[in-house]
């Protein structure tokens, strides 16, 4: 079976985006250049930030067509992160709300990629 272990987000400025994600992830990128940055987060997931201007084949769509999701243990932690990220000026698409799967909110990064933070219902 094949399982994904790497996600690439196409961004306008990889160096600027690397600074943004370093502040969210709390880890430094393992690779950083004008066209690409790479993070390996503690879960093992690799997150690449590739310049939409140099990617091949050419990138024809913008951010927002998928979500990078962050699971938290409880609603209080979701609220804490929401206050932090909203305080940083991230664009809020959804304020904290109870949904059928759990408690969640959604913001966007500077390139319009959706970031969802959630805690599962009943856990």
Confidence (pLDDT) at 123: 66
Confidence (pLDDT) at 110: 93
Show contacts of 107-111: CB within 8 Å, 24+ apart.
Answer: 108/63, 108/64, 109/9, 109/17, 109/20, 109/21, 109/63, 110/11, 110/12, 110/16, 110/17, 110/20, 111/9, 111/10, 111/11, 111/12, 111/17, 111/62, 111/63
| pLDDT profile of the chain (123 residues), mean per 10 | 88 97 97 97 95 93 87 96 96 97 96 96 77
Distance CA 11, CA 77 (A): 28
Confidence (pLDDT) at 3: 77
């Amino acid at each position: 079976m094949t399982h994904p272990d790497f996600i690439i987000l196409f961004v306008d400025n990889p160096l600027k985006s690397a600074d943004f994600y370093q502040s969210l992830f709390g880890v430094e990128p393992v690779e950083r250049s004008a066209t690409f940055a790479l993070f390996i987060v503690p879960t093992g997931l690799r997150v690449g930030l590739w310049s939409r201007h140099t990617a091949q084949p050419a990138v024809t769509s913008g951010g927002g067509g998928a979500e990078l999701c962050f699971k938290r243990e409880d609603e209080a932690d979701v609220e804490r992160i929401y206050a932090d990220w909203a305080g940083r000026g991230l664009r809020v698409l959804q304020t904290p709300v109870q949904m059928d799967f759990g408690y969640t909110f959604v913001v966007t990064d500077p390139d319009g990629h959706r970031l969802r933070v959630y805690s599962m219902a009943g856990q």
